Structure 1
């Protein structure tokens, strides 16, 4: 099991990578998004990662309308995702995430899942050409339930599951259901806490997630890979403390 953190796109990606390394985490969950992480200089970032023996996973902009039902928009998003894939691959990543796309004309909301299936097929193929497994993240309805994911994972060969435990805390199906039903598809995990209402990105133990049950559910699937602490705080000193406390909790529960 490896524990990492995500760079805050409000800050310099290079400073964030150095912070991750100095704090002793195993990997950086590199998000490529604005305002300050939309462009990544590989030649500048790679030496920082190497100096701390940090591996990376790839995280993409959650607002990309990659499944919007206009082909030109989908093509533009695929081009941007391929740009990201090139960066991730060059930095040694093996996994790249994508979020559900909720953008569509109001009268076409009923087709939202079908739009994802159509759009994800060429995206998964593109990612594979860069040696990357594409993982699809759970979030709000209708992408908060196992039935939706079973449909998508069946229809899109090669696609895997990015399970965000914080998101399962305010969705239809909780982490136990996802792990029991889709454990074999889980290829990447996010941990953060909340109070069952919104995606607060709190330190573990502050909200309403039962982390003992969460860790046990994940371990029961046989998962033993990357866990990102997606926890943010405006105070740098407190950020470091919150991340350390959350890491210690995972390590204790994992034993």
Structure 2
């Protein structure tokens, strides 16, 4: 199992915090040109600590709309970003599972088509696409819908435990992992509280992580700690707790 950090779009944050971790998950900002990222500096930062790279595609980019021309442009845009990700040897690319109207059932077949096309663009450049649950957000697909579409298209899942909790509590975490845990190849780990606080260090919130242990003990893929702090001690503590959760006996 590889445990790393989300570092936003900041090479400075990566350099300050990544030592001792296995990977950095770097965000590509909406509308930004990733070729302007200093690829040599990025490579140097990662090589110094022997860490791999994952990328997070733009947070606000919907996957599907009702307009075919816009959908084509979305695939083209994300394919361009993925080509850059492949050029810097990113292992995975995280995509938010969003739609212009996530409750419009007519869009779901189109979402599947879009997801498959984006997945092909990723695999063509040697990157694994992982679709992330964001059903607690206005444009996020509900957990079960996202799971069904990921299975239908053969797309791996980035399971964000905190997002699932914010959407439907510990029950939501349990149901998703019961039905779709085999699709998970990347995890976002943080704690959350039902009042709305999220991206907290583990132990500071309300999530029952024993549910994760029940379904993912022995997990042997990639994990990104998504705690919004540069306090390395807090990040390392959450990483240690994460390792205990996922390496626990089944």
1:164 to 160, 165, 171: 160
Change (3 A) 1:196 1:67: same
Q: Following superposition of structure 1 onto structure 2, how do residues 1-80 of structure 1 map, counting pairs within 5 Å?
A: 1-9=1-9, 13-22=10-19, 24-33=20-29, 39-80=36-77
> Take 1:229 and 1:35, find their aligned partners in 2: how far apart are those partners?
25
- Stretches of structure 1 that go unaligned for 5 or more consecutive residues are none
Q: Please state if 1:246 is matched with 2:238.
A: yes
User: Contact 1:32–1:40 (CA<8 Å) still a contact in 2?
Assistant: no
Secondary structure in structure 2 of the residue aligned to 1:227: strand
Among candidates 136, 139, 161, match of residue 134 of structure 2: 139
Q: Secondary structure at the match of 1:169?
A: helix
Indicate how the Cα distance of structure 1 residues 199 and 159 shifts in structure 2: closer, same or farther if over 3 A, else same. Answer: farther
After TM superposition, the structure 1 stretch with the greater mean CA deviation from structure 2, 195-204 or 119-128, is 195-204
Under a length normalisation based on structure 1, what TM-score does the superposition of the two structures give?
0.83
Runs of 4+ in 1 over 6 A off after TM superposition: none
Number of residue pairs the alignment of both structures matches:
241
1:228 and 2:220 equivalent?
A: no
Shift in Å, 1:223:
2.3
* Cα displacement string for residues 90-115 of structure 1 (whole angstroms, at most 9, x for unaligned residues): 222222121122324x9x83434333
Deviation at 1:135, TM superposition (A): 1.2
Out of 190, 195, 210, which is 2:188 matched to? 190
Distance in 1 separating the partners of 2:143 and 2:212 = 16
Residues 196/37 of structure 1: CA separation in 2 closer, same or farther (3 Å cut): farther
Q: Verify the 8 A CA contact 2:99 2:111 in the aligned structure 1.
A: no
Residue aligned with 2:199, SS: coil
Contact 2:97–2:131 (CA under 8 A) maintained in structure 1? yes
